[in-house]
Amino acid sequence: MLKQPVIDPERQLPKKMEKTILKLSSPEYLSPHWDHLADFYFQKSEFLHHLHRYNPCAQRYYELYRDNNLVAGTVVYTLKIDILTFVNIASPFKAQIIGLPVSVATPPMIGDPGEFEYFLAELIKIESGLILGVNFMEDYLRDKVLNLRTLPTIVLKLESTGIPSYERSLRHSYRRRIHRIRKKFSNVTALTTDCTVFTEEHYALYLEIMKKTTTKLEILSLDAFRYLPSNFLLTTYYTEKKMLCWHVVCKDKDVLFFFFGGLNYTFRDQYHSYNNNLLGIISAAVDHQYGIVDFGQTAEIAKTRLGGNLSERRMFAYHRNPVFFYFLRVFKGLFNYSKPPEHCQVFKIEN
């Protein structure tokens, strides 16, 4: 049963109802218990506030209550996307997306996993049109929706205590490759700051990457970067005052997340900028004593060759119009991410 949001400070909930869903128009109305259910920073109210302000896309926030206790929550937003993005065919279509309104691989549902099946079944009744659920860890609603594979994220587990130790753990060919890459950055200056210094030049290099990306969902504004919270760090690489590349990482409790980056393609090959940017993220993880790096969902080959492993993600598509849904089923292969995983034996002893 769907109830309209209660703005009352006491958040009075209906009595004698076993399960109730609240639909909220802003993260300012989220329950104070929301963050207690979240496993990752990207799911928490502070970051949702940031996205609501700087990446508005008709976000709405759903809370599931059981016996008046918050047990699950999620975000839905509206965006025009290319639904055939994995086969690189322009196919703009407005979709209602159950997911975090930014391109990260963090699952969109928080709370009790035992409630997710019920929660999602209700959400596809509430929302209309094409509904996509993205970045789930497993399949849901198997008899109701079309479950698909989406881009995996790449996760690096660091069992070493420093960069020299990390490099010694690599097989010789991969270690030698990293040394060749690092040599290209021997005269490059790295500057790590908060994100308030994010400039038009940074943003232009971000847009260069987005122009070449075939799997993008949204394009963030400059202010979405400049006003990121304090747990985001910006590292910029320069040579002779030329900006070569940059990356932003998010410091979460147990994981260092690669958020976004920018690349000057004019100098990319000369300096091996992309791979050096990734090595900089590994260095940041070591500096801040993180044992896990989440590299994100693109450039699988480059990231796995540094020791990352694929962490699979699932998505689903649904439309209550039976003709449209039949089309989705018949052409399932066009919506499914089908690239086979590449396994690299990077470490002498597998992490």
Using one digit for the tens of pLDDT, what is the confidence trace for 202-260? Answer: 999 999 999 988 776 789 999 999 999 999 999 999 998 899 999 999 999 999 999 99
Q: How confident is the model at residue 351 (pLDDT cuts 50, 70, 90)?
A: very low
* Domains contained in the chain, CATH given: 2-151+313-335 (3.40.630.30), 154-310 (3.40.630.30)
Cβ atoms of residues 147 and 314 within 8 Å:
yes
* Tokens representing residue 105 in the block: 């691989």
Phi-psi region of 240 (alpha: psi -120 to 50; beta: other; left: phi over 0): left
Which among 247, 296, 237 has a CA at the least distance from the CA of 267?
A: 237
What pLDDT is stored for residue 266 in this prediction?
96
Cβ atoms of residues 127 and 2 within 8 Å:
no
Average pLDDT of the residues in 143-165: 91
Which among 74, 52, 70 has a CA at the least distance from the CA of 61?
A: 74
Distances, alpha carbon 18 to alpha carbons 68, 71, 118, in Å: 8, 12, 13
Cβ atoms of residues 229 and 240 within 8 Å:
no
CA–CA distance, 214 with 87 (Å, rounded to integer): 9
Instruction: Provide CB contacts within 8 A for 162, sequence distance 6+.
Output: 286
- Computed over every residue of the chain, the mean pLDDT equals 91
pLDDT of 143 strictly over 80: yes
pLDDT in tens, 264-278: 999 999 999 999 999
What pLDDT is stored for residue 218 in this prediction?
83
Burial 115-129 (b: 16+ CB within 10 A, else e): ebebbbebbbeebee
pTM over 0.75: yes
What pLDDT is stored for residue 10 in this prediction?
42
Cβ atoms of residues 113 and 288 within 8 Å:
no
CA–CA distance, 258 with 245 (Å, rounded to integer): 14
CA–CA distance, 83 with 130 (Å, rounded to integer): 10
- Residue 48 one-letter amino acid: L
* Distance separating the N- and C-terminal Cα atoms of the chain: 46
Which among 25, 9, 41, 2 has a CA at the least distance from the CA of 256?
A: 41
pLDDT in tens, 245-296: 999 999 999 999 999 999 999 999 999 999 999 999 999 999 999 999 999 9
Average pLDDT of the residues in 63-80: 97
What pLDDT is stored for residue 9 in this prediction?
44
What pLDDT is stored for residue 91 in this prediction?
65
Helix (H) and strand (E) counts in the chain? 12, 14
How many residues are listed for the chain in this entry? Answer: 351
Cβ atoms of residues 163 and 286 within 8 Å:
yes
